[in-house]
Structure 1
Amino acid sequence: MDLPLNSTTCMVCGMRLVKNGKTAAGSQRWRCLSCGASQARRRPDVTARQQLRQFVCWVTGKQTQAEIDGTTSGRTFRRQAAWCWDIEPRLEPATGIHHAVLVDGIWISGWCLLIALSDTGRVLAWQWSGGESVAAWKALLEQVEAPAVLVSDGGTGIPTALSACWPETKHQRCLFHLQMRVSRHLTMNPRTNAGRALRALVMKLSELRDEDAAIAWQIRLDEWWRAFGHPTKERTLLRNGQFGFTHDRLRKAWHLVRGVVRNNTLFTYVTYGNPRTTSPLEGGINSQIRAVLRRHRGMSETHQKRAVEWFLTLHEQPLNEALHRALPTQAPDTQPNAAEIDAPDEPTLYDTALSAEEGLWSRTG
């Protein structure tokens, strides 16, 4: 007859054990009804899982270390959970094809974290890198199936990586980032009529919803160029004796808008119905990452990266599933190998080492 899972057998007589209270440490005590032997069964795997659970709840939550372990300093928690920093969470591979994928980068302690988010709010993948380079974007995009549209802030390296990994995917430039970059060049209150007209035209992008409004906006942009295009070409003699553009900021803002229109990355949402901005990623994920790091400020660079990885993992997986995927599936082998079993405990009779009994040893002095 099989024994229940919550029971065990006696190590002395092999009979069934029954529960017999708790130990001082709170562990279950077992007693044999046959021989009277008492023992406490230890489960290192259960202990490790519970420690990792407390660690993840702390690193992604709002509780302090002292509140987790019920002490005044949290030293017990730090000692017991020190090994948890080495456990790397694993996100389930992204499967299926999504209509739109939003990508963006956030800087954390000198590291750039690239994140891919679906239009339904699911974290698909992330990639640590030294910057928004072509290689970094390729490493991120290769983890996800090619969608219909990619929404980005127009950072460096994205167009090249997109054409290499997802050649059939359309590109949507984030309207909010475009408006902010134009305002950075022209300031919030431009001094010239050309600057005020161009900024007002760019800020109107948020109101466009259909194809007719997009065509009318492009006509107004052409009218702006016919009316104010000449200041972008004017040059003046600078103090260093060289000629430069008189309205350099206006020229940069104009070239930025013209480049987005020519690349057909401005009104992709009108045709395909994809998100127009990366705000779901900026406000839904990046802002929460900053909140996690702010609550646990003072962590080292490695610990900050691990905390962010656990946050992204729990965003998509329940806690129990995340712990199951992170912990090793096989327990370490504690059985000695054959060489250790056959090795005698007595000194070696025949070997290549020096022997003091035979007068062979290294000279000293």
Structure 2
Amino acid sequence: MAFTVKINNLSKELTLFLNWLFSIDIQANMPGKSRTFRCKTVKFWSIWPLPPKVEEVHDVVYLDGIYLARNLCVLICCNDTHVLGWYVCRYEHAKALFNVKTMDQAFIWINELSAWRMTYSDFLREMTVDEFENKCFTHERLLKAESSIWRMIRQQTLFTFLEYIDITVPTTNNRIEGGVNAQLRSMLRAHRGLTLERRLKAVY
């Protein structure tokens, strides 16, 4: 009895796809020309790479956002050697935290958060009826984000960095801005024709 062994070319095709993505080559210059290249690699655009689960404790991490559109940003976190994780958001709003250098300033920041809660209380209480006639909060994700901040405040973990004044912390974010993000921006410039969804997946 004769058996036919089916050759799995997925690994080779993935390598071909990644070599193109991380280069400045256009699809017409790839093996098989544009149409053949797209047929072989289109399946990889359906993949959403998930960030790894990181449980190690790091003294210093770097966080920065790369904007793909006016209201689409990917936050990337890394240490001195590796990317630790990434997260999609609409905006990057952390400037107020940069002013927190003492515990007194931390208390001021918490009071301002409370004032924000009072100012936008009606907005945060808005409800929406879903397709199953169930009521839910219209801004549920915002409420969850706020809840996580208050949880860290109660657990006294939000401003832990103020307790370790003897740790030498880099004064700039160049490790991620000039390293990881610079390479991502170079990749996006080389492939300007990508749709927004594919630009997002390429950064992922």
Q: What is the match of residue 89 of structure 2?
A: 129
Give the one of 48, 53, 61 matched to 1:93. Answer: 53
Q: Secondary structure at the match of 1:289?
A: helix
Q: Is 1:84 the counterpart of 2:24 in the alignment?
A: no
Q: Secondary structure at the match of 2:200?
A: helix
Q: Secondary structure at the match of 2:64?
A: strand
Q: What pairs with 1:1-365 in structure 2 (closer than 5 Å)? A: 10-11=2-3, 40-43=4-7, 46-71=8-33, 74-110=34-70, 111-118=72-79, 120-132=80-92, 154-156=94-96, 164-165=151-152, 166-167=157-158, 169-170=160-161, 271-309=166-204
Report the TM-score when normalising by structure 1.
0.37
> Which one-letter code corresponds to 1:275 in the other structure?
P
Q: Secondary structure at the match of 2:14?
A: helix
Please give the alpha-carbon distance, in whole angstroms, between the structure 2 residues aligned to 1:42 and 1:84. 20
Please give the alpha-carbon distance, in whole angstroms, between the structure 1 residues aligned to 2:26 and 2:192. 12
Higher Cα radius of gyration:
1
Q: Secondary structure at the match of 1:126?
A: strand
Q: Tell me the alpha carbon deviations over residues 178-227 of structure 1, each in whole angstroms, 9 at most, x when there is no partner.
A: xxxxxxxxxxxxxxxxxxxxxxxxxxxxxxxxxxxxxxxxxxxxxxxxxx
Q: Structure 1: any 5+ residue segments left out of the alignment?
A: 1-8, 12-39, 134-153, 172-263, 310-365
> Which one-letter code corresponds to 2:160 in the other structure?
T
Please give the alpha-carbon distance, in whole angstroms, between the structure 1 residues aligned to 2:62 and 2:149. 13
Please give the alpha-carbon distance, in whole angstroms, between the structure 1 residues aligned to 2:24 and 2:175. 23
Number of residues of Structure 1 aligned to a counterpart in Structure 2: 152
Please give the alpha-carbon distance, in whole angstroms, between the structure 1 residues aligned to 2:22 and 2:170. 29
Q: 1:85 to 1:123 in 2, by over 3 A?
A: same
CA contact (8 A) 2:76 2:87 kept: yes
Q: Secondary structure at the match of 1:170?
A: helix
Report the TM-score when normalising by structure 2.
0.64
Q: What is the match of residue 102 of structure 2?
A: none
Q: 1:55 to 1:115 in 2, by over 3 A?
A: same
- Tell me how far 1:156 sits from its aligned partner: 4.9
CA contact (8 A) 2:74 2:88 kept: yes
Q: Structure 2: any 5+ residue segments left out of the alignment?
A: 99-108, 114-147
Kindly, what percent of the aligned residue pairs are identical? 27
CA contact (8 A) 1:121 1:280 kept: no
Please give the alpha-carbon distance, in whole angstroms, between the structure 1 residues aligned to 2:96 and 2:168. 25
- Tell me how far 1:163 sits from its aligned partner: 7.0
> Which one-letter code corresponds to 2:16 in the other structure?
Q
- Measured on the aligned residues, the alpha-carbon RMSD in Å equals 2.7
Q: Tell me the alpha carbon deviations over residues 208-248 of structure 1, each in whole angstroms, 9 at most, x when there is no partner.
A: xxxxxxxxxxxxxxxxxxxxxxxxxxxxxxxxxxxxxxxxx
- Tell me how far 1:42 sits from its aligned partner: 1.6
Q: Tell me the alpha carbon deviations over residues 254-294 of structure 1, each in whole angstroms, 9 at most, x when there is no partner.
A: xxxxxxxxxx9xxx8x7311211111111111111110100
- Tell me how far 1:123 sits from its aligned partner: 0.8
> Which one-letter code corresponds to 2:187 in the other structure?
V
- Tell me how far 1:104 sits from its aligned partner: 1.5
> Which one-letter code corresponds to 1:117 in the other structure?
C
Q: Secondary structure at the match of 1:93?
A: coil
> Which one-letter code corresponds to 2:91 in the other structure?
G
Q: Secondary structure at the match of 2:74?
A: strand
